[in-house]
Amino acid sequence: MAFDPDAVLRHFGQAARGYHRASTRFPWSWLRGREARALLRVVGPVEGRRVLDLGAGAGYYTRLVLGRGARDAVAVDLSRAMVAEVGPERTLRLVSDAASVSLRRRFDLILSAGVLEFARDPVAVLANAAVLAAPGAALAALVPVDSAGGRLYRSYHRRHGIAVRLYSRESLGGAAAAAGWRLEATQRVWPYTLVARLALAKA
């Protein structure tokens, strides 16, 4: 199945209303909570950090880091309907492609949660993130892995005409290296998530 950005936009546009609410309800809240704890463990303290959330969706992680003391955030998503769901507090909301969004500001922490699997060119997303990163920045990536759970997740999205890319530690590390990042730490979250911290290769 080929990558189809229109299918991604259509699906997430339709899912936007109620997306955040659904992520706070069981069973999704259970998985989300475990992924969020792993992400916070992997990135460390977020207090005072300037955050860029690429593929922010309805802002689950934007809210999380602001709630933990991040200074402010820019939330970027392809879907206007999703961006409209992100809370405005200390957040600039932009409808744009993570692979090409251009900003004057630079960021200490860049989030890419549940996005690289949908991107036509994940290396382009990571390379653009490297341009937007301040010296010493970290990038937190959350991707689905090639496990039984990951394959179920892929089948779920296939029903919406979306081809989802599944990762391993090695394939994520390879994409990171091609885009100017190095993989510093990873954590697996059952059943299908890999959380990783990337640092700029030329720090």
Ligand X SMILES: C[S@@+](CC[C@H](N)C(=O)[O-])C[C@H]1O[C@@H](n2cnc3c(N)ncnc32)[C@H](O)[C@@H]1O
User: Under the criterion CB under 6 A, does residue 181 sit at the interface with ligand X?
Assistant: no
The minimum distance between CB 97 and ligand X, in angstroms, equals 4
Residues 6 to 45: which contact ligand X by CB under 6 A? 8, 12
Cα–Cα dist 49/29, whole Å: 25
User: Under the criterion CB under 6 A, does residue 113 sit at the interface with ligand X?
Assistant: yes
User: Under the criterion CB under 6 A, does residue 52 sit at the interface with ligand X?
Assistant: no
The minimum distance between CB 144 and ligand X, in angstroms, equals 10
User: Under the criterion CB under 6 A, does residue 55 sit at the interface with ligand X?
Assistant: yes
Binding piece for ligand X, criterion CB under 6 A, among 91-99, 146-154, 164-172, 189-197:
91-99
Cα–Cα dist 83/141, whole Å: 19
The minimum distance between CB 125 and ligand X, in angstroms, equals 6
Q: How many Cβ atoms sit within 10 Å of the Cβ of residue 80?
A: 12
Would you call 101 exposed, middle or buried from its count of C-beta atoms within 10 A (0-12, 13-18, 19+)?
A: buried
**In the complex, which residue's CB is closest to ligand X?**
57
Residues 63 to 82: which contact ligand X by CB under 6 A? 76-79, 82
Cα–Cα dist 175/57, whole Å: 22
User: Under the criterion CB under 6 A, does residue 119 sit at the interface with ligand X?
Assistant: yes
Would you call 192 exposed, middle or buried from its count of C-beta atoms within 10 A (0-12, 13-18, 19+)?
A: buried
User: Under the criterion CB under 6 A, does residue 4 sit at the interface with ligand X?
Assistant: no
The minimum distance between CB 57 and ligand X, in angstroms, equals 2
The minimum distance between CB 159 and ligand X, in angstroms, equals 15
3-class DSSP state of 198? strand
The string of DSSP codes covering 30-58 is: HHHHHHHHHHHHHH---TT-EEEEET-TT
User: Under the criterion CB under 6 A, does residue 61 sit at the interface with ligand X?
Assistant: yes
